[in-house]
Amino acid sequence: MGISRNILLWGSKNTWLLNHVPNYSFVRRALKRFMPGENLSDAVEATKMLNQKGIPTVFTRLGENITQMSEAEEVKCHYLDMFEKIKDEKIQTEVSLKLTQIGLDLSFDKSLEFFNEIAAAANSINNFVWIDMEGSSYTNVTLDFYRRTKKINANTGVCLQSYLRRTENDLGNLLNIKPNVRLVKGAYSEPSEIAFTNKQDVDKNYLKIAKILLTQIKENDITAVFGTHDLKIIGEIERLAAEINVPHDKLEFHMLYGIKPNEQIRLVNEGYKLKVLISYGKAWYPWYMRRLAERPANVGFVLKNLIMQ
């Protein structure tokens, strides 16, 4: 893992930076590349444009590790209202959320209750809710949470991270519940005892797990989604899928708003499913630092905005 990635991930947890960086206008301008705006209405407008190009979206309201149950309740109400909005606006979009945003740090049972309410509201309009995967201290509890909710909410899925050494095993243990899985590389800073720390190993593990998921799509009709912008990996998944006869419309990719838009269009044109994850909300600082860490060259773009102000 590069030093700059480590510094940016350290910065994502630094309180002084959290309190100061979001106030700089050049940072806010640079942020626009990855986020259409702080409000749900910004995400809705961006979705309308993408839907016109045949691209559905996934909404995520930024925020994590909340410290008061009242905040979790407010987040839950926000998501319940969101499904009303999705229905009224007739937009093609799903939802993805972090469990620590609905109170996982405070109470497992209460956050499960909140999540089940959100999933039921989604189900009432034929919608779907993804559970993000956070840092490794949450892996066990998130998988346990997913097992419990999946029993009553078929319209839910969980994210797995290929940088964790345990993930192949975790997937194996989930297969008996016919999980819906979004596979990503992983965005947090993790020690080498539990995580692959060089890109080659993370990519190799990604493809190993992708192969298992492709077989599951073919044999058990599970929903598996590949959340990546890595063109080599996408190409290899397309090749593997063709080899085992997974049709294009059963292969689904998710990408983040603003990243690799040409590839997004190519996938749609070739008949694959492609969704774009749109983040919004005021609590964007740690999330944005993780986006910069994924491609430290992005820091140059932020600085360009400083020079141009």
Q: Is residue 184 within the footprint of ligand FAD (CB under 6 A)?
A: yes
* Segment lying near ligand FAD (by CB under 6 A), choices 4-12, 47-55, 78-86, 180-188: 180-188
Number of CB atoms found within 10 A of residue 181's CB: 25
Distance (Å) of CA 10 to CA 73, 159, 163, 242, 285:
29, 23, 18, 41, 12
> What CA–CA distance (Å, rounded) separates 47 from 44?
5
Q: Is residue 217 within the footprint of ligand FAD (CB under 6 A)?
A: no
Q: Of 28, 42, 109, 132, which one is the catalytic site residue?
A: 132
Q: Is residue 180 within the footprint of ligand FAD (CB under 6 A)?
A: no
CB of 245 to ligand FAD, least distance (A): 25
- Ordered DSSP codes for 70-135: HHHHHHHHHHHHHHHHHHHHT--EEEEE-GGGGTTTT-HHHHHHHHHHHHHHHHHTT--EEE---S
Q: Is 88 a catalytic residue?
A: no
- Ordered DSSP codes for 212-226: HHHHHHHHH---EEE
Number of CB atoms found within 10 A of residue 83's CB: 20
The residue among 132 and 238 lying less far from ligand FAD, judged by its C-beta, is: 132
Pairing of strands 129-131, 252-256: unpaired
**Residues 233-262 within binding reach of ligand FAD (CB under 6 A):** 254-256, 259
Q: Is residue 156 within the footprint of ligand FAD (CB under 6 A)?
A: no
- What tokens appear for 162 in the block? 């290929």
Q: Is residue 277 within the footprint of ligand FAD (CB under 6 A)?
A: yes
Q: Is 132 a catalytic residue?
A: yes
Q: Of 61, 170, 182, 291, which one is the catalytic site residue?
A: 182
* Segment lying near ligand FAD (by CB under 6 A), choices 10-18, 120-128, 243-251, 292-300: 292-300
The residue among 78 and 295 lying less far from ligand FAD, judged by its C-beta, is: 295
Q: Is residue 298 within the footprint of ligand FAD (CB under 6 A)?
A: yes
- What tokens appear for 54 in the block? 């045949």
Catalytic residues: 132, 182
- The residues of the shown chain that bind ligand FAD, judged by CB under 6 A, are 132-133, 159, 161, 184-188, 227-230, 254-256, 259, 277, 291, 294-295, 298
